[in-house]
Amino acid sequence: MTTQQRTPLPDSIRTNGATPNPWWANAVVYQIYPRSFQDTNGDGFGDLKGITSRLDYLADLGVDVLWLSPVYKSPQDDNGYDIADYQDIDPLFGTLADMDELIAEAHRRGIKIVMDLVVNHTSDEHAWFQASRNPDDPHADWYWWRPARPGHEPGTPGAEPNRWGSYFGGSAWQYDPQRGEYYLHQFSRKQPDLNWENPAVRRAVYDMMNWWLDRGIDGFRMDVITLISKRTDENGKLPGEDGSQIADLPVGEEGYSNPNPFCADGPRQDEFLAEMHREVFAQRSGFLTVGEAPGISAERNEHITDPANGELDMLFLFEHVDFDCDGVKWKPLPLDLPGLKRIFASYERAVEDRGWTALFTGNHDQPRVVSRWGDDSTEALRVASAKALALMLHLHRGTPYIYQGEELGMTNAYFTSLDQYRDLESLNAYRQRVEEAHVQSPESMMAGLAARSRDNARTPMQWDDSRFAGFTAPDAPVEPWIAVNPNHTAINAAAQAHDPDSVHAFYKRLIALRHEQPVVAAGDWTLLAQDDPRVYAFTRSLNDVGADDAIDNAGDAGDDAAAAGCARRLLTVVNLSGESADLPADAVALLRDDDVDASRVLIATGSDADAVTALAAGRLAPWQGFVVRL
């Protein structure tokens, strides 16, 4: 099922508060990391032609939107998130003609294309930045340039304008001898931050966005878009600068202070996003905008995604993927399920009346969820826990995002030596934490990388059991840019394609359920058994008018079976542990004196009969989950 085949939700079913309901209200998005998806020319890197060659697989899966990580021209310091030319394709991935072909072929299959947009920063090789190195050039104020701290020799330790650290390790300031000043980079030193205070910067960004939309893409995923507004004092000084009226935070264990509280959700954030909407999207329809939102609370998500405010359609919030560690991501902790439920509940409550949420557990920056919160120690447990985690996420209210390979239950790579890693963040973190600051042992850090490195999500897509997993030809002259996970011989798309009990088949059913059941896409969400340490349970419900209109819509479309099967209220129960667990009392109360047979089971991680047996016994097997009609 594709975008063209989905039945739109009737306006009596409230989604994000807009009227009519947006087309994406019951859509599913699939993220592609192009360099790791499909290589067609044997150079070891995925490419645009490779994505086009796999569109039938994606259409069969049922997804409605493809989000592409960056394919723009780039030095690839941060795998394309350092853009040197926004209006050209990097030769690594192909050409603009290849991009046009991908857009056309995707649209022919009813699939929309969303591009990654990285405008908090550019590459230091971008023409804008190169021009800004001349203080007399019109681009001189397009980035955050600052002189050395008074009394210090420029370019020497301690001369940085303040003590901010980069998220990728080291100082957030880099000295440029040509200009004789420092520039701010919250990420790599090759990713200087754009100065969004400058109207010319914003105009150039909006023009570029319009150029891509005119070319036929369907929207943008906006990288760290909530970092574009920095907090300054009345004289334009950043916190901690010499003479600034705003004090910086204390220096941490690695020798730097944290810029996030001063750069995330800054004072002009709403103004900039509203201006972007007016200049790019206000006269268009059919697009989707989703922002990566570090530092944004659930409450702020409501404001930013409220259509009345004209900012963004949805945001990626990060509290749920940041809380399971001991201070830093490299010291992971076991999943605290009640804590996870509290976080998801805060997301859902914030958009009860208006706004929308993006649902995800994996992406190119996160480890594989089945290795993180599931159990990949055996094949049976991997399959069971991958299905359980998928069921938990996809039955929430919002728009689900599937990261490539997640639908196969792909696992972490579990690299054992540093030279196997390619990720800039991981390599820099090891150097800074182990070799420079001495705050973590080599053994502990390697364990942290194995659990949380971004490279865990970036190993090649596992298409089949051949030498390079079908990502590139078995006899390709160049090996893939990063090693293929050895378990691809057992975990791959070809092995699961015709297996009705596979993770892949389960994802197809989840996607179809969202398309077919309005209550899954937009029904009210109510958490049960908040403090249960093993079971995640909640209900979904539609008001009577919305349910009646959904039934009428299906009937009008000639689908009598869909009309008869339209659910008004659902109970979702998932055991997210490797131990048996009692059915929560709240769930039992909803089912009391009410026989549940297999006809009322909409989807289950095992068989429908097993779900009925579990309900009758009041006991869930490890990683068992199901959805029943109430």
By DSSP bridging, strand 145-146 and strand 173-176 are: unpaired
Average pLDDT of span 595-603? 90
Let me know if 223 is a catalytic residue. Answer: yes
Q: Where are the domains of the chain?
A: 29-120+195-233+268-497, 123-193, 523-552+559-629
Specify the pLDDT at position 594: 73
429-459: per-residue pLDDT in tens?
Answer: 999 999 999 999 999 999 999 999 999 999 9
Specify the pLDDT at position 564: 58
**Half-sphere exposure for 620 (CA within 13 Å, toward CB):** 30
The answer to whether 330 touches 302, Cβ cutoff 8 Å, is: no
Q: How confident is the model at residue 562 (pLDDT cuts 50, 70, 90)?
A: low
Joined tokens for residue 367: 């480890």
Q: How confident is the model at residue 5 (pLDDT cuts 50, 70, 90)?
A: low
Specify the pLDDT at position 592: 78
What is the radius of gyration, based on Cα positions, of the chain?
A: 25
Closest CA to 204 of 291, 279, 125: 279
For the CA atoms of 387, 388, 390, 393, what is the dihedral angle to 10 degrees? 170
Q: How confident is the model at residue 462 (pLDDT cuts 50, 70, 90)?
A: very high
For the CA atoms of 355, 356, 357, 359, what is the dihedral angle to 10 degrees? 180
Closest CA to 337 of 576, 579, 624, 583: 576
Average pLDDT of span 313-341? 96
Closest CA to 518 of 1, 7, 3: 7
Closest CA to 187 of 416, 425, 479: 425
Give, in degrees to the nearest 5, the angle at Cα 530 between 542 and 385.
85
Main-chain dihedrals φ then ψ at residue 31, nearest 5 degrees: -90, 135
Main-chain dihedrals φ then ψ at residue 625, nearest 5 degrees: -150, 155
Specify the pLDDT at position 576: 98
Give the three-class secondary structure for 277.
helix
46-55: per-residue pLDDT in tens?
Answer: 999 999 999 9
- Cβ count near 285 (within 10 Å): 7
Q: Rounded CA gap, 332 and 325, in Å?
A: 4
368-408: per-residue pLDDT in tens?
Answer: 999 999 999 999 999 999 999 999 999 999 999 999 999 99
Main-chain dihedrals φ then ψ at residue 225, nearest 5 degrees: -70, -20
- Amino acid identity, residue 23? W
Q: How confident is the model at residue 257 (pLDDT cuts 50, 70, 90)?
A: very high
Residue 151 has pLDDT above 70, yes or no: yes
In CATH terms, 523-552+559-629 corresponds, of 1.10.150.120, 2.60.40.1180, 3.40.50.720, 1.10.1040.10, to 2.60.40.1180
- Cβ count near 442 (within 10 Å): 12
**Half-sphere exposure for 241 (CA within 13 Å, toward CB):** 21
Residue 546 has pLDDT above 90, yes or no: no
Q: How confident is the model at residue 2 (pLDDT cuts 50, 70, 90)?
A: very low
**Half-sphere exposure for 466 (CA within 13 Å, toward CB):** 13
CATH placement of domain 29-120+195-233+268-497 = 3.20.20.80
Specify the pLDDT at position 1: 37
The alpha carbon dihedral of 290, 293, 296, 298 has a sign of: positive
Q: Rounded CA gap, 204 and 201, in Å?
A: 5
- Amino acid identity, residue 304? I
Q: Which CATH superfamily is domain 123-193 in?
A: Oligo-1,6-glucosidase; Domain 2 (3.90.400.10)
H helix runs in 458-502, sequence order: 493-496
Joined tokens for residue 575: 């055991």
Average pLDDT of span 461-469? 98
Give the three-class secondary structure for 527.
strand
Q: Rounded CA gap, 415 and 417, in Å?
A: 6
pTM here is 0.95
- Amino acid identity, residue 152? H
Q: How confident is the model at residue 9 (pLDDT cuts 50, 70, 90)?
A: very high
Q: Rounded CA gap, 364 and 424, in Å?
A: 13
3-class secondary structure for 187-212? CCCCCCEECCCCHHHHHHHHHHHHHH
Joined tokens for residue 418: 């540093």
By DSSP bridging, strand 181-184 and strand 173-176 are: antiparallel
Average pLDDT of span 129-155? 97
Please give the residue that has the higher pLDDT: either 4 or 353: 353
Q: How confident is the model at residue 557 (pLDDT cuts 50, 70, 90)?
A: low
Let me know if 253 is a catalytic residue. Answer: no
Spot the catalytic one: 77, 78, 292, 549. Answer: 292
Main-chain dihedrals φ then ψ at residue 316, nearest 5 degrees: -90, 115
Q: What is the DSSP string of 221-235?
A: EETTGGGSS----TT
Closest CA to 244 of 141, 121, 146: 146
Element (H, E) at 99: helix 96-108
Specify the pLDDT at position 466: 97
Q: How confident is the model at residue 559 (pLDDT cuts 50, 70, 90)?
A: low
* Among the ranges given (253-257, 268-272, 312-316), the one the predictor scored with the smallest mean pLDDT: 253-257
Specify the pLDDT at position 474: 96
Q: Rounded CA gap, 318 and 366, in Å?
A: 11
- Amino acid identity, residue 604? A
Average pLDDT of span 582-587? 96
Residue 224 has pLDDT above 90, yes or no: yes
Residue 419 has pLDDT above 90, yes or no: yes
The alpha carbon dihedral of 469, 471, 474, 479 has a sign of: negative
Spot the catalytic one: 223, 306, 365, 376. Answer: 223
Specify the pLDDT at position 547: 61
Which are the contacts of 233, defined by CB distance < 8 A and separation ≥ 6?
A: 239, 244, 245, 246
Percent of the chain topping pLDDT 90: 93
- Cβ count near 29 (within 10 Å): 24
For the CA atoms of 160, 164, 169, 171, what is the dihedral angle to 10 degrees? 0
Closest CA to 3 of 136, 116, 147, 106: 106
